[in-house]
Structure formats: C-alpha cells, structure tokens
C-alpha cells in the first residue's frame, strides 16, 4: 500500500485540473482511483446518456438531486460486501476509511463537503466518454487524423470474441480500398454502440421473424434507434466484415449476436480479489494503469 503521504500528494494534483475531455490525460501518472471507482466508471462508459441518470439516481439514496460524499461511498461498501460474501472473508474495512482518491476530490473537493450535482456528473461522464473515444481512435489510427478501414476493423474486432474471428479477418483482408474514417464517423459509431439495446429493439420492430436486413434498412434502424446516422463508408465496412454467409445482408446472429459481447468489454474484469487484492489495485491503478486496462481485452487490471 502507498504511504498516506504519497496518496495525499497524488490526489492533491486534481485540484489544479479543470473539467475537460483531457482530464485523465492531463493527470498522466499523477492520479489515483480505487478499483471500485474504476469498475463504476467502466460500467457507465458504454451506456447511453440516459444511463448516466440511472447511475446518478442510484447514488442519490435520499433523492435530493445531489450526491454527497457519504452517498458515493456507499457504492464502495456494496461492492466490498459482495466480495466478502463471495470470499467468506472477515471485514477489514477499517483500513480503507479516510482514503482519498482523485475522483473523490474531483467530485467533492479536498474537504469532502462539496455536493455533486447531476449536471456536473453528466458533463464528467460525457467528457470521459469523449476522452476514451479519442484515446482509442488515436491508438488504432496510429496517431493519424483519419483511420483506414482496416484499422477501424481492428478496433471493432479488438473487443469481439467470436468463433468466426478467422472469417472476419479474411473479410478484412478483402476490403476494397476506400475512404478513411474520420473521428466524427468513429464517434457516431461509438454512439451507436452505446445504444445497441435500443437498436436491437428497433430491429425487432422492423423485421418480422428476425429476417436478415440489407444496408438501407440497417441504416434506417440506426437512425430511428439512436437519432444519428452512420456514414455509408462505415456501414459498408461493417457489412463486409460481418456478413459471414455472403448474402449481402446481416442477420441477427451475424451482427447483434456477435457485437453484443462487445458491450461487456471492460466488465469482464473478474471481481476475484479480496482486500489484499483491492489495495494492490488501489496502489496500482494510477491513471496510466487505467488507460492500459482499457486497452486490454477483458483482462483484469490487477
């Protein structure tokens, strides 16, 4: 475990960092979040904006439209209790009391008496989503302003575990040269990915008996479900990769069945650590560590 002095100096940095889509990148290695906070953020990261409100309301136990530090800390004890029940461990929770983190200071100030308002939480989560999207885009485009279709495919397949992986990669290699994908197009696709459940519902309405759909129908369903359009270039790439039987359409099994696994990407992190593990994580989970964990497919950050 880090000595309290080190934790204080790490956490103190956050007071100088303003809310932005560069919050975590500006902090670099000078931040600290707990494993619980990491799981919490990861859980909301792939949700539509309506999910932010659900998360906030869950924290706001007394329902006064603001979250106090003690309400936020309940989250920690819920996850801790789950672990204890599972592991049959004795409570050692005393040791975690009073520990501060970057996120706690950011939300509640150094004194811990500031209240978190929904609009600030919403802005924080929105900025975090944007920041993670920028990090992933830069990672897969190798720092370029646009992404080649193959690079987009690599990003798409990175979190997708499926038995047809070899077929997908064969399809990727057959992709005809086309326009590169801009960050805006990539963002629109991420927005779509965060609304997959709405999309699945819309598709059920559109296609009786779950019939496979062509590009035109798919595009319309995306617009209806998410309010945004996907570019033809992105759609064409998606169809070429996932149309395993080559009929020019995507069946539910070919697309949703595969892509839904992506929803759970970071959430595959197993909660298998006891307290020792928890603090090992707290120590290890500097902001850079979180970036690394985001990059790794479903692997535990510890």
Q: Do residues 33 and 285 touch, judged by C-beta distance below 8 A?
A: yes
Cα separation, 55 vs 97, whole angstroms: 23
Cβ 75 to Ca ion shortest distance, Å: 13
For residue 66, the 8-state DSSP code is E
| C-beta closer to Ca ion: residue 77 or 228 | 77
Neighbouring residues of 18: CB distance < 8 A, sequence distance ≥ 6: none
Cα separation, 163 vs 167, whole angstroms: 9
Part in contact with Ca ion (CB under 5 A); list of ranges 5-13, 32-40, 47-55, 62-70: 62-70
Part in contact with Ca ion (CB under 5 A); list of ranges 96-104, 143-151, 183-191, 242-250: 242-250
Could you say which residues in the range 77-106 bind Ca ion, by CB under 5 A?
none
Part in contact with Ca ion (CB under 5 A); list of ranges 145-153, 164-172, 248-256, 265-273: 248-256
Q: Which of 15, 20, 57, 64 binds Ca ion (CB under 5 A)?
A: 64
Part in contact with Ca ion (CB under 5 A); list of ranges 121-129, 189-197, 245-253, 284-292: 245-253
Q: Do residues 129 and 121 touch, judged by C-beta distance below 8 A?
A: no
Tokens representing 250 are 């995507």
Q: Which of 29, 126, 232, 245 binds Ca ion (CB under 5 A)?
A: 245
243 binds Ca ion (CB under 5 A): yes
Pinpoint the alpha helices (H) of 161-286. Answer: 165-173, 183-194, 196-206, 215-226, 232-242, 256-263, 275-284
60 binds Ca ion (CB under 5 A): yes
126 binds Ca ion (CB under 5 A): no
Closest CA to 95 of 169, 2, 167: 2
Tokens representing 225 are 């479900």
Q: Which of 3, 62, 90, 216 binds Ca ion (CB under 5 A)?
A: 62
Q: Which of 8, 126, 247, 292 binds Ca ion (CB under 5 A)?
A: 247
Q: Strand, coil or helix: what is 182?
A: strand
Pinpoint the alpha helices (H) of 14-96. Answer: 23-27, 35-45, 49-59, 69-87
Cβ 124 to Ca ion shortest distance, Å: 17
- Catalog residues that contact Ca ion under the rule CB under 5 A: 60, 62, 64, 243, 245, 247, 249
């Amino acid at each position: 475990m880090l000595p309290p002095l080190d934790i204080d100096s790490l956490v103190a940095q956050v007071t100088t960092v303003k809310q932005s889509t560069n919050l975590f990148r500006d902090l670099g290695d000078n931040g600290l979040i707990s494993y619980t906070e990491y799981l919490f953020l990861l859980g909301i990261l792939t949700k539509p904006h309506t999910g932010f409100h659900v998360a906030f309301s869950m924290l706001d136990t007394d329902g006064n439209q603001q979250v106090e530090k003690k309400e936020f800390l309940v989250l920690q004890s819920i996850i801790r209790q789950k672990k204890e029940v599972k592991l049959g461990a004795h409570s050692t929770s005393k040791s975690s009391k009073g520990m501060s983190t970057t996120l706690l200071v950011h939300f509640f100030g150094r004194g811990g008496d500031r209240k978190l308002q929904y609009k600030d939480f919403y802005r924080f989560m929105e900025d975090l989503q944007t920041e993670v999207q920028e990090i992933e885009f830069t990672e897969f485009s190798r720092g370029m302003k646009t992404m080649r279709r193959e690079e987009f495919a690599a990003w798409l397949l990175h979190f997708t575990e499926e038995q047809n992986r070899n077929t997908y990669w064969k399809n990727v290699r057959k992709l005809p040269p086309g326009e590169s994908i801009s960050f805006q197009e990539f963002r629109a696709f991420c927005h779509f990915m965060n609304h997959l459940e709405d999309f699945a519902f819309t598709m059920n309405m559109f296609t009786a008996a779950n019939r496979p759909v062509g590009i035109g129908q798919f595009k319309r369903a995306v617009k209806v479900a998410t309010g945004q359009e996907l570019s033809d270039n992105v759609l064409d790439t998606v169809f070429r990769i996932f149309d395993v039987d080559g009929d020019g359409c995507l069946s539910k099994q070919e697309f949703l069945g595969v892509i839904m696994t992506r929803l759970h990407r970071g959430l595959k992190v197993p909660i298998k650590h006891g307290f020792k593990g928890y603090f090992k994580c707290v120590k290890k989970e500097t902001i850079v560590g979180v970036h690394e964990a985001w990059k790794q497919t479903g692997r535990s950050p510890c």
